[in-house]
Amino acid sequence: MPKYVIEREIPGAGNLTADQLKGISQTSCGVLDKMGPQIQWVQSYVTTDKIYCVYNAPNEEMIYEHARQGGFPANSVSKVSTIIDPTTAE
């Protein structure tokens, strides 16, 4: 299944409390449950003013639909072409 990186512009994201992040996560999981197993949240990275999320989904449209239903921004969605890591250098 294709993997996507989603950039969400959320001013002050790095200052969100653990409870706020829990609430956002619960909302996201609730939408995912409704959408079915075709779309999966892998993980997210919270930075100062953005959250970068990694999702598996059959297409980009499903990513945008998840964002719409959850009330999350999806400022950019990029399909991952290849994954590399330190073992790629071997």
Give me the CATH topology for the region 3-82: Alpha-Beta Plaits (3.30.70)
> Tens place of pLDDT for every residue, the chain, 90 residues?
999 999 999 999 999 999 999 999 999 999 999 999 999 999 999 999 999 999 999 999 999 999 999 999 999 999 999 999 999 999
The number of beta carbons lying within 10 Å of the beta carbon of residue 55 is: 24
Cβ 88 vs Cβ 39: under 8 Å: no
Q: How far is CA 77 from the centre of its chain?
A: 9
Look up the pTM and report it: 0.93
- Cα angle: 75, vertex 23, 25; to 5 degrees: 55
| Per-domain residue ranges of the chain | 3-82
What CA–CA distance (Å, rounded) separates 48 from 63? 23
